[in-house]
Structure 1
Amino acid sequence: MRKTAGIIGVAAVIIVAGGVAAPWYTGKRIEQEFRQGVEQLSGSVPMEVTRYDRGWRTADAVTHAVIDTEDGPFEFDIHHHITHGPWGFGWAHIDSTPDFGEHQDTVAHYFGDQTPIEATTTVGFGNDVNIDWHSPAFDATDVPETPGARLAWGGMEGHYRLDGDHTTTRVSIPSLNFQGKESSLILNALNLDGSGAGGPDWPDVDNFWDGRFRTTLGQLDFQDDAENVALKLGMDGQGQLRDNGDDGLSMTGSWQFSNVVLKDPALAEPVIINNATQTLALKHLPREATRTLLIDLSSIDESLNEDQATALIQQRLLRYLGDALEGTPSAEITVAGLNTPQGSLEGKLALDFDPMEAGQDPMTTALKRGHLTLDMASDKALLTHLMAFSNAGARPEQTLAGLEQEGLLVRDGDRYRMDVEMNSRDLRVNGESHPELYMMLPLLLMSLGS
């Protein structure tokens, strides 16, 4: 009996000692992970740990961040209260709130005594990470920097989850309303959802190609009377990147716009679109070249100006096009419905390529290997409007009559249609061969490669 009691006593001591030591050991590991995580984030937003006080069950840390703005660097601290596991929530629970220092009075002008944004992070026993953040709403408030202006904020909710090397993100902004004497901005029902590969090992992860996103916007209404600029629209866009095994990669996307109004001094008249739907499907894409392109585009130096960045993007896209044409890529663009006050347009463009023979140049053989089809139909009033819109000196009626006479457009009541088929031997428009147009295509490809 004494021996049994001794064993039980030793076991009790081990359990108690383990219970005491576990939070201490977990806290030490959490501090290491916390510092590594801040170091990783500092690659995009300059950030550093300025204080970390670790106790037995809890810790308090401060990180300092700097965001570059047009008015100069915006510096602030973030306070983190960390509860160590292992308890029911997992390994760690972190509550984070910002301290805006010298900017605190400006923030309080809008949010009062509310915390402008707060985040809660939980690290589970499976090392999954969940982050929830919240920004409270505030009613219309005067904007001190802009006399006569008022700003209202509908709040924000967000969630991020990292499970292994898979991430999901969700952000919801119900409303934003700015009203000034010469400009205004109204945003309603903005929602962003995405999922895909991520985590500290990105981009060297097995599921690199698992990516999806969706963005919906109930209403955007921007007006600047001083610049005579205006933009209104609603939007629903989504896309997907996936690996199809032996068929290579595919990228698909679709966009739906509604109630679009664009007004700009550079335009002869406002652009008005009642609604429009467009889809894009790219298939049989090369894995390594696509991986390189996506990594390169995500790591473009932010210090470059717009012209430098555009030139770099064009260079990388052209290089990628050459790599893609070494295989058998295909592209399909569909305009399911473009409805305007002047009429509607719909069409479909498809392009695919035969396999390339050994030793051939992908760019120079693209015309020979390519197959193109185009089906388009449009109301005459819309075509006339587009021609006049793009060229003030255009003569739409005469141009349409000439294209119809040449067989490039076919009249069907008040609508025109065009059917194009191109292969390695011929270019046919509405069933008729047009060798003169076919001979002009190499010049276009040469201009792309120059």
Structure 2
Amino acid sequence: MRKTTGIIGIAAVIIVAAGVAAPWYTGQRIEQEFRQGVGQISTSVPTEVTRYDRGWRTSEAVTHTVIDTEDGPFPVDVHHHITHGPWGFGWAHIDSTPELGEHQPTVAHYFGDQPALEATTTVGFDNDVDIDWRSPAFEETKVPEVPGARLAWGGMEGHYRLDDDRTASDVSIPSLNFTSDDATLVLKSLRLESSGAGGPDWPNMDNFWDGRLKTTLGQLHYQNDSEDVALKLGLDGQAQLRDSGDEGLSMTGSWQLSNMLMRSPSLAEPLIINNATQTLLLKGLPRDATRHLLIGLSTLDDSLDEDQVSGQVQQMMTQYLMAVLQGAPTLETTVAGLDTPRGSLEGKLAINLEPGDGSERSPVTSALGRAALTLDMASDRTLLERLVTRSGPNARRPASLLDGLEQEGLLVRDGERYRVDVQMDSRDLRVNGESHPELYMMLPLLLMSLNS
């Protein structure tokens, strides 16, 4: 009995010793991982660990980040309270709160004693990472920098999860309201959801392009009376990029606009859309070119000005388009229920490219010989007249132009609506069942002018 009691005692001591040592050992590993993670972040945003006090059960750390803004560098210190595992939550639990230095009084004007933003990070036993962040709401408050202006914030909540090589995020903003003597900004029910490949190995993983995005916006209303500018709309959209095996990569997207109003001095009259739904499907996108494009877009130099960034993006997109045209992609887009006060429009466009033999010199002109196009569209006459009027300063007689197109057979009248059916292949261009070789011969010249 004494021997058994001794064994139990030794086991108890071992268990207690392990329980005491485990948080200390875990704390060492957490600090290593913490510093490594900050180093990875620093490649895109300058960040460093300025303090790390490691204890047995908990540690305290401070990171310093410098954000480049139009008004100059914006330094942010973030305080991290780290709880070591292994306990029920996993390996580590981190509570992070930013300290904004000289800007803190401005933040306190709106949030009072509450942190403007706080985040909680949990690292599980399978090394999965969950991050929850929130910003508390505040009621309508005066904006000291703008006399007569008031700001109300409905708060924000977000979640991020990394599980192996998959990520998912969700951000929700219930409302934002800003009013001044001559401007108004109202945002309601904004939600952003995304999922896809990610993690430390991105973009070296095989399926790094697999991703989904969904955006929902209940209402956006911006109005500036001094500049005579207004924008109002609701939006519901989603997109997905995935690997379709032998068919290459495919991208699908759909979006719906509601109650859209756009007014500016550059528009002769306000643009109003009651409702519009559009879908897009692209198949046969090249893997290597897509990888190169996505990596390029994600590593743009932040030190460049807006024109330089725009030039780089345009160059990358042009190179990508050339690579796409060398393959055999298909495109299909549908506009369903474009409803405006001037009438409605609906239609479908599909383009298919046959594989080339690789001997073509110009991807754009060779694509014409390999392309098959179909277009089926119908619209109210009043809406077409409005579109023709907006097409240029010389389009002063839209009714005469439409009548001429009808006489040439390029438009078919159906009551107060027009429709057009276009079919093109490598031999002919047919509009509403009639062959138009003269239009077909003009297409290469048009495409070459666009390519130049």
- Tell me how far apart the structure 1 counterparts of residues 264 and 413 of structure 2 sit (CA, whole Å): 33
- Residue 236 of structure 2 aligns with which residue? 236
Partner SS for 1:335: strand
Q: Which runs of 5+ in 2 are unaligned?
A: none
- Residue 389 of structure 1 aligns with which residue? 390
Partner SS for 1:365: helix
- Residue 208 of structure 2 aligns with which residue? 208
- Residue 408 of structure 1 aligns with which residue? 410
- Tell me how far apart the structure 1 counterparts of residues 392 and 329 of structure 2 sit (CA, whole Å): 35
- Residue 420 of structure 1 aligns with which residue? 422
Q: Which runs of 5+ in 1 are unaligned?
A: none
- Tell me how far apart the structure 1 counterparts of residues 57 and 256 of structure 2 sit (CA, whole Å): 51
- Tell me how far apart the structure 1 counterparts of residues 358 and 338 of structure 2 sit (CA, whole Å): 43
- Tell me how far apart the structure 2 counterparts of residues 190 and 440 of structure 1 sit (CA, whole Å): 46
Compute the displacement of 1:100 (Å).
1.4
* 1:270 and 2:270 aligned: yes
Instruction: Label 1:303 to 1:320 Cα distance change in 2 as closer, same or farther (>3 A).
Output: same
TM-score scaled to structure 2, two decimals?
0.97
Partner SS for 2:413: strand
CA deviations over 1:104-130 (Å, ceiling 9, x no partner): 111111011112111100000000000
- Tell me how far apart the structure 2 counterparts of residues 324 and 68 of structure 1 sit (CA, whole Å): 35
Q: Which amino acid aligns with 1:246?
A: D
Compute the displacement of 1:328 (Å).
1.1
Partner SS for 2:405: helix
- Residue 170 of structure 1 aligns with which residue? 170
After TM superposition, list the pairs within 5 Å mapping 1:62-81 onto structure 2. Answer: 62-81=62-81
Higher mean Cα deviation, 251-260 or 70-79? 70-79
- Tell me how far apart the structure 1 counterparts of residues 40 and 405 of structure 2 sit (CA, whole Å): 59
Compute the displacement of 1:2 (Å).
5.0
- Residue 293 of structure 1 aligns with which residue? 293
Compute the displacement of 1:358 (Å).
4.3
- Tell me how far apart the structure 1 counterparts of residues 310 and 446 of structure 2 sit (CA, whole Å): 21
- Tell me how far apart the structure 1 counterparts of residues 308 and 206 of structure 2 sit (CA, whole Å): 33
After TM superposition, list the pairs within 5 Å mapping 1:47-446 onto structure 2. Answer: 47-361=47-361, 362-394=363-395, 395-446=397-448
Using the aligned pairs only, state the percent identity: 72
TM-score scaled to structure 1, two decimals?
0.97
> Over the residues paired in the alignment, what is the CA RMSD in angstroms?
1.4
Q: Which amino acid aligns with 1:308?
A: Q
Partner SS for 1:284: strand
Higher mean Cα deviation, 439-448 or 375-384? 439-448
CA deviations over 1:394-435 (Å, ceiling 9, x no partner): 210110011111111111110011111010000111111111
Partner SS for 1:308: helix
Compute the displacement of 1:70 (Å).
2.2
Partner SS for 1:439: helix
CA deviations over 1:318-358 (Å, ceiling 9, x no partner): 22222222321001111112110000011111101111124
- Tell me how far apart the structure 1 counterparts of residues 368 and 392 of structure 2 sit (CA, whole Å): 30
- Please say if residues 152 and 178 of structure 2, whose CA atoms lie closer than 8 Å, have aligned partners that are also in contact: yes
CA deviations over 1:282-332 (Å, ceiling 9, x no partner): 001111111111111221222333332222222222222222223210011
- Tell me how far apart the structure 2 counterparts of residues 448 and 4 of structure 1 sit (CA, whole Å): 90
- Tell me how far apart the structure 2 counterparts of residues 76 and 208 of structure 1 sit (CA, whole Å): 31
- Tell me how far apart the structure 1 counterparts of residues 128 and 451 of structure 2 sit (CA, whole Å): 47
CA deviations over 1:374-409 (Å, ceiling 9, x no partner): 111100000111122333442101100111111111
The runs of at least 4 consecutive aligned structure 1 residues that moved more than 6 Å come to none
Q: Which amino acid aligns with 1:89?
A: F
- State the aligned residue count: 450
Compute the displacement of 1:3 (Å).
4.6
Q: Which amino acid aligns with 2:107?
A: V
- Please say if residues 177 and 186 of structure 2, whose CA atoms lie closer than 8 Å, have aligned partners that are also in contact: yes
Partner SS for 2:148: coil
- Please say if residues 326 and 367 of structure 2, whose CA atoms lie closer than 8 Å, have aligned partners that are also in contact: no
- Tell me how far apart the structure 2 counterparts of residues 104 and 358 of structure 1 sit (CA, whole Å): 61
